[in-house]
Chain A
């Protein structure tokens, strides 16, 4: 890979009046609360929407982590809420630090603030993150973390693992590495991670993170970037933040957090998840083309703790349903696929649709080509970009069926090896992406 492209010097613009004007979307009430908090060393953002079931233990773990690891620092927890109707913000403002002190036997030197603000009436990660970043900028936070309200497995140690590298070791971005079951987080491991790695040249396990930390400098830079009105900026700013750090020379690392809590989202959430993650990834390609088009191969990112950990306990997955949805998708979306995919790719997919369950194998090469062709079609906007991304869902299900079948009895190491193999395939076929991107096919 081209070293010069990966070692660009970061340039953080000074905090200016013009830039601060960008933050005028903050409510007067939030401004008043920020005035009362004053300058802080650390800010923890907690974006929420109807998280009443999980928010209390998550908040307590954050507070305990702060008291334990940053007792001397000025810290504020900012809850950016997207219009919860289950009382989530009230649970945050009503939480007593005394509960944490007693439960964890910790003592607080100074006031630990927790403030809440509503950025809108519908949840969106863009406005939530923008609110958190603007608050961090106004409060001149040196280090910030964003933690998912659904992180039910959160441990107070997460706070230290995420924030210490930023606060004490001058990293600008800290992304998580989780211990996962071999069949969990597949959208990340089958698509987002390997494609991001191949495109941008860094082995980032969770480029679309929900628990992460960043420096005030990176936050300020990202805040001023004019992407908040884009679809990706609205629904997937986390990935854009990662890419901003990777492409502009901000020091980044990964840190092992342990098991990630599983949400109770069902398969019906797949399409929104694909739109959010894959849509953001695809939309990032065009503006960053000058950066990624010159990169080949990939390099490891500094990782604190294990780079991955896979658990193997039995997990019931309805594989049959996945293949059925693939087959019906291939059949029903023929015309859509025809406008997106190369003829030979589409032909192979049609063939797969007629395979028996035993014969079905969605190869790595075919999967990578499928994804790359979707990315190129997205750039060319052959049809509605949103439709393009949604159309990937049935094909992804077919790929997952294959992965589950092939790895039913695999060990953790074998699963990791397979993921690594897929990553290599994404890297090997990157010239193919460039070719179709530039209209060679």
Chain B
């Protein structure tokens, strides 16, 4: 599908192959103040940056990142090439699950600023052509939410039926427990109410009762509150679990889809051009219904692909990647997969076989401290042994496989993690801006930071920080900026079809991305050793290959298999041109 839409082009974009100077002092120039273009499918070409406001920049020296701080860093995000920001929950919360336990849906946690601060941030982002996706937890609230407090206090309270209560803990027996490390049951006893309440996540996160029309209406009103303010989309957390039914596993139920479709219908009617992103850690075939006929979610995370990219890299074999993408069903043309390498959670291994999980643990998390639930709580750079070539290759695949890439904050500079912090906090440490006080994150006393900064000699802020990487065109940050710019130079990566080539050399993952007349060949060497690969490109006989990063010409395609030699972990993006 070709769209007659102009892509927003920040400075240095389009066909300019020069790497922009990140130290350039003109970041506030008028050129950068580009408005958001009206594009109903903007999310398909987006480059999303995921960040928690708490982690990015502290403006008031209280040790906690906030919206004014985040606003200060919008230029950085724009220069990186980011076109959308995904903000993790920033609502008032007891923070027993890093904000996923919301106590008030219509406000901002006081540690992060005020509603006005958020509005200023939103305006600043839009001025820079950056859309904002906020996170909404539909499935459950904090047990501190006033709704739950009312619900538990009396069986006659109007809010009683806003949650799922039971006299016994024997209902919905076929439902799995998600947080195996901490939860024994999906039911928790409430001593005040003297009844059990249902929770799919932590016990302090009671599930809302979506069979209650009042709950459904209220959650739409919450969404409307933020949409009217101008947010561009929602990442809806834990959507498979909205409805419970006896005799099922209480996941992906038709009733859940009906509710989600209704939200989408209202969104399209009242706020066209806004976007819904599903967080549903499911197999592709189970995820497919979340797109509906283009009338449910616009986007969904492709959870099973991510561990297989890591697996393919370690195995030096494309099989895990091609296999899962072969199993990935077609989705409506207006929909999109979201791809990511790492995020704020553990690298989830729910969507792999037992054998694959054992392998992943052995090769990526040899220490027990690196494991959490069914996953690995590590950042990208440490997972890849801080090997620049592998980091680049993985990002190259992230940017060229079908879907919208999401970059987790700090991974663009190769930040490390701290596995000695509990839960998933090891990958949520302060952003490392400089080698100075608190990594430039905050001027507060180090002891008062919400989390210690990474300070070891390899990944510590003195070694890995934005300021030092800005000074080098060869830094990971500069390279990330470059690859984002190349990706954004064409719509083929966001909207094009994919066709895998299957060269006999299984260490090479090669595919053709195609959109209209535009054809891009991507070749990835997953191996630690140099490889020769022969590609069957006879269909493109006569066309010239143009390497997209350096713009250099490669030989014309002829009748013989196209021979490429590739260095360890090297990848190529070629634009095919008939001249």
Contact = CB atoms under 8 A, between A and B. Distances in A.
A74 B317 CA distance: 9
Contacts of A110: 315, 317, 319-320, 506
A111 B506 contact: yes
A113 interface: yes
A421 B294 CA distance: 83
A111 B527 CA distance: 14
Given A38-B529, A38-B531, A107-B353, A33 B504 contact: yes
B532 A35 contact: yes
B192 interface: no
A39 B529 contact: yes
B355 A36 contact: no
A30 interface: no
A33 B534 CA distance: 11
B315 A109 contact: yes
Interface in B310-339: 311, 315-320
A303 B62 CA distance: 71
Given A38-B527, A109-B320, A110-B315, A71 B355 contact: yes
Nearest to B506: A111
A332 to B, nearest CB: 57
B529 A36 contact: no
Given A38-B527, A38-B529, A38-B531, A111 B319 contact: yes
A108 interface: yes
Interface string B11-40: 000000000000000000000000000000
Contact of B506 (A32, A71, A113): A113
Contacts of B533: 36
A300 B315 CA distance: 40
Contacts of B504: 32-33, 36
Contact of A109 (B356, B503, B534): B356
Interface in A14-71: 32-33, 35-39, 71
A428 interface: no
Contacts of A35: 505, 532
Main secondary structure on A side of the interface with B: loop
Interface residues of A, number: 16
Contacts of B532: 35
B283 interface: no
A312 B302 CA distance: 60
B353, B356, B507: most-surrounded residue (chain A CB, <10 A): B507
Contacts of B359: 71-72, 109
B358 to A, nearest CB: 9
A107 B324 CA distance: 13
B527 to A, nearest CB: 7
Contacts of B353: 107
Interface in B499-541: 503-507, 527, 529, 531-534
Nearest to A33: B504
A107 B356 CA distance: 9
Contacts of A107: 353, 355-356
B319 A36 contact: no
A38 to B, nearest CB: 6
A14 B320 CA distance: 35
B534 to A, nearest CB: 8
A301 to B, nearest CB: 34
A223 B503 CA distance: 30
Interface in A107-136: 107-111, 113
Interface in A221-245: none
B178 to A, nearest CB: 24
Contact of A36 (B318, B356, B505): B505
Interface string B91-112: 0000000000000000000000
Contact of A38 (B318, B355, B507): B507
Nearest to B508: A36
Contacts of B311: 109
Contacts of A38: 316, 505, 507, 527, 529, 531
B319 to A, nearest CB: 5
Interface in A59-95: 71-72, 74
A65 to B, nearest CB: 15
Contacts of B316: 38, 74
A74 B316 CA distance: 9
B434 to A, nearest CB: 42
A286 to B, nearest CB: 44
Interface in B406-456: none
Contact of B355 (A32, A37, A74, A109): A109
B503 A36 contact: yes
Name the 8 nearest CB pairs between A and B, nearest first.
Answer: A36-B504, A110-B317, A111-B506, A36-B505, A110-B315, A111-B319, A111-B317, A107-B353
13 contacts: A32-B504, A33-B504, A71-B355, A72-B315, A74-B317, A107-B353, A107-B355, A107-B356, A109-B315, A109-B319, A109-B320, A111-B317, A113-B506
Given A38-B316, A108-B319, 6 more contacts: A32-B534, A107-B353, A107-B356, A109-B319, A109-B359, A111-B319
